[in-house]
Structure 1
């Protein structure tokens, strides 16, 4: 009997029967904008082959003004239709189904021609929108319906109409962005008129048999957002207008509450889908921070939804469902919700990929063919770079010996997984450990590899990682100084702490030091209280009117950096604000432009400015050094002296903020060509 009877059971949407209840949610990857349709088809076909029940494409613009950015992809010409036909044919050839998401950005568009219900500028885009008149609204409706008709001509099984996350249709629904007094504004019946009319016209354009998904916002997480009664009223009207299924949307992009980052509890919003499900007669799909087949199965078994949407997990592993169905769930590469190679890339105008799977969106360019000649390969260091190199090389048929001087694999990932809010790293280390048990890999733990140990191998890969950098600050006898490694391994620095270095590691150490008791990431009720999230049936928009209620900080913490800018500015584009806000709620004192004069038993002496004349003492019990890393190249130097050729990867090559994304990608690409 299957371990996932609910997840793997078929479901019929309209006249189309899906093979299982998994939805690959929409993601903007940037692939469509490359114009390489063979590559785009390969990306989606791989997910269909991997068992996705239904795939939703990245958002396609219905017109130029509705594109997320100038040049955003859409179905505007017959040539576009022919190109998209290559994608749908490839998916159908693998037994899958695929719908096209129609996304009108409204005031979120990064273009001067953006339009909206009212001329209210978004806080996350640079251009004020033009308020639409009656003719302009009709044009948007007609263009969306035309996009739906073109999707059918391109072979799609239907469309998803994007009505959540604060995009165009969502903007009409709430008084926060809709200040109109005509028939498209004012009362809720008027404000919901546009999305309902869009669905009605899209159904006509699609015909009766195609799938029509409406992505509905269940909790806006903004001031003046929708009430729960309004959400239910809209859901029923959308059903009446011809939708086949409702997909869950959570939070607007401008909301100051995280919704999909790694610190958000798994399935944190599934209870909202469960609440909506009995209100409508069509299936509902739950989403957000669902990343394992066990969790998906539980949500379905408990009746919380009819289908489960997972987006980034399909970047992490294109065979997600296929592995689950064949009893290989432990081999599913886990999405850790880090955003580093997906959303951070998207919002930086770069092609999407995945930290744990560098092949995501690079299926035709990064391949792992069988090695023409099997070699004996030594890999030194079982951190992320070394483990990935070993796994890819062995998968290609090489005989790999992996040396690791510590008693466990994981390297710096073992530090990351001790940070509150980064519990997903436990699963990543477990996945690496599982994959290292595959044939072709000999794992030697507690083995400090020497040049003599490596002399008989055909190829040597050095992935020895990093060591903390000494910032050279004078330290007086009796002063208490720790490295970030000490703290993340559990050392107690006292109740008052100064952290030197406000990069990613400094923020992680600060999070660790201020947290006391259970991690909010593992306690959804505690997490919601910390961030001020209320049930939308109790508070409009799902925001607690009293704001966040963070648990008091365990310590008084100063987070300092030399660079004269706001600490945390260099953190991830889509997650940095979360880390800054989290520490601010814990009253961490963050300062930039700091000179470190000396560390004494009384605390840390600092100054600011080039003259360094005005010094002050931060009275702290201890100082924690998070001042960067240096490559650990002792072994590499010895190999050079011996004249032994080798490859340097990961932190041993470039030490930069423990960059696992770069390390894993570099390792995979090296192993692909060995």
Structure 2
């Protein structure tokens, strides 16, 4: 018997019945629009694949209803009002495919970003806001919207919802009284300084949201569901300054008392469900939680909403643990579980859970490199661990012409991904790994408690390769002669990288980050981490959480200056966690010598000495490609992958391996 059966009971939003308790959380559909604001083939395939995977409700992610008041530069994301004929045509093609799998689909519609517009998406257009307030990213003052412009946007919501209904969408979600987007800026007094009917009292500040749902119900009928993305708490200490978990602070955004009062009003206005989270762009790590946030972090706020309103409550926020999801439904925390990044990582999550194949679910590692980082910097949605996300057709597995026997040397992410893809296509892949387990740098990288999903990804690869009958040999270092004396058709070298080290004097107490993370070396009670990149900062945080006194020494003028997380939610949270956990940072400093428990450093103030029990080097890695160089001119079909080719991150290790393995 499947213990998760409760998660597969139907639920209603308004009169729309959804077959199970799972929703695809709305994530910006960057790159999924055509030139006229319809859904392109990538978008249609992407959403359909999640419906095929068993998800009960598909929520598309933000589409703009207005491109005149706040211009977004078509075709940034789909737009239901830019070219209604094209939107209905492509939208209906998509909804019909989604409905074939008995899934429902809601279009998420936005009133605009206002002060939080991401600069890469802004172009030359001036940002707008409820009042002349500072932009989130740029040193610019936003332009105040006129009442006529507000009314025009409200009407566009009606037009957009009408077109969505024509296109076969089962409902809409309004984006949003959450995360500090434009409609939320109207709702929060920190941003709304207006003295007209859209400012002042809470009812006035919510008038924009009220008029939107009334307009849609008037145009589409009372039975057409209108849901709301809603944050009952902002976690804003000040403009561009957010609070950390456990930090004492005075809320300058929406506090929970107002969050409860606003929720009651919004439901009274006609909203049929609240899709609940917390946070804002000023505290982005709440709205887009990195691995440093605990799993299921929105549950207390969803529970509060369940106790406050009588419409369904949807809960997202690292809810990929099925037991946690089940408990949340059973104890009345929420009515639906919303999965965003987990469904990027594995579109078949829901079907695998239904068929008791939990070990086969590919985990999201919350790195946000492929999703939010790329949305922020390159205006495109992808996934670090799933190279096919948003590229389902472009990266479909290629049929093989002739079965080949392929040797993969190295069982890190690149080697494992290559072997997985080769096996799925029908080739015979063989892995040799010199250590005692698969995973490579996932193993030390996953040692901190907040990086558990790195270990889960390594375990997933081991399980998947076993299911695919890939022969894996551990504790075996392959030699040149061994390869040349075998009969492999192709060879992939994925031998990884080695930590950069240098002598400091008392090198018996100088360790690498991996040695400490793996528990091979004891850092003592007080240690210095040399290098303030991602590995160094995460190691320092892990040690500080274990009660160690930790100092980071960084040669550059700030931590995470090189190789930091692409997504600001990750990098900004980690930057704040360092001092919050008592970790001292010595920037613009270089270590010179370590003897007799004293580390000598060259700083901006001259030579300084720091007592410590150990020194941990986290100054990068160098490619281990010696075997490839030995074989480069000996084997006709040979490939170099992962860190052995170029030291990078998990995403590129996986993506490059997929690309190569899919074309052998």
Q: If the length of structure 1 is used for normalisation, what is the TM-score?
A: 0.89
1:241 is the counterpart of 2:269: yes
Task: Return the match for 2:164 from 133, 151, 176.
Answer: 151
| Equivalent residue, structure 2, for 1:550 | none
**Offset at residue 136 of structure 1 (A):** 2.4
Q: Contact 2:420/2:468 (CA < 8 Å) preserved in 1? A: no
Cα distance per residue 1:332-360 (max 9 Å; x no partner):
11112111111010110242211111110
CA distance in 1, matches of 2:640, 2:173: 46
**Offset at residue 234 of structure 1 (A):** 2.6
Task: Return the match for 2:449 from 409, 420, 423.
Answer: 420
| Equivalent residue, structure 1, for 2:231 | 217
Q: Contact 1:8/1:21 (CA < 8 Å) preserved in 2? A: yes
CA distance in 1, matches of 2:468, 2:292: 35
CA distance in 2, matches of 1:635, 1:56: 48
| Equivalent residue, structure 1, for 2:413 | 384
Q: Contact 1:118/1:178 (CA < 8 Å) preserved in 2? A: yes
Shifted more, 403-412 versus 73-82: the winner is 73-82
Task: Return the match for 1:280 from 305, 309, 315.
Answer: 309
CA distance in 1, matches of 2:611, 2:587: 18
Q: Contact 1:567/1:592 (CA < 8 Å) preserved in 2? A: no
1:303 is the counterpart of 2:318: no
| Equivalent residue, structure 2, for 1:539 | none
Q: Contact 2:234/2:255 (CA < 8 Å) preserved in 1? A: no
Q: Contact 2:408/2:491 (CA < 8 Å) preserved in 1? A: yes
| Equivalent residue, structure 2, for 1:665 | 655
1:61 is the counterpart of 2:61: no
Cα distance per residue 1:223-255 (max 9 Å; x no partner):
333343433333233223322221113111212
Aligned pairs for 1:162-241 within 5 A: 162=175, 163-222=177-236, 223-241=251-269
**1:16–1:415 Cα change, 3 Å:** same
**1:644–1:383 Cα change, 3 Å:** same
**1:414–1:131 Cα change, 3 Å:** same
| Equivalent residue, structure 1, for 2:51 | 48
Task: Return the match for 1:576 from 571, 580, 590.
Answer: 571
CA distance in 2, matches of 1:234, 1:91: 34
Q: Contact 2:179/2:278 (CA < 8 Å) preserved in 1? A: yes
In structure 1, runs of 5+ residues without a counterpart are 517-553
Runs of 4+ in 1 over 6 A off after TM superposition: none
Cα distance per residue 1:580-618 (max 9 Å; x no partner):
111111232223333333333343322247xxx943323
CA distance in 1, matches of 2:439, 2:507: 34
| Equivalent residue, structure 2, for 1:543 | none
**1:374–1:605 Cα change, 3 Å:** same
**Pairwise CA RMSD of aligned residues?**
2.2
**Offset at residue 285 of structure 1 (A):** 0.8
1:86 is the counterpart of 2:84: no
Shifted more, 293-302 versus 647-656: the winner is 293-302
Q: Contact 1:37/1:87 (CA < 8 Å) preserved in 2? A: no
Task: Return the match for 1:39 from 39, 42, 49.
Answer: 42
CA distance in 2, matches of 1:504, 1:228: 34
1:618 is the counterpart of 2:610: yes
1:411 is the counterpart of 2:440: yes
User: What SS class does the counterpart of residue 454 from structure 2 fall into?
Assistant: helix
In structure 2, runs of 5+ residues without a counterpart are 237-250
CA distance in 1, matches of 2:265, 2:470: 57
**1:256–1:368 Cα change, 3 Å:** closer
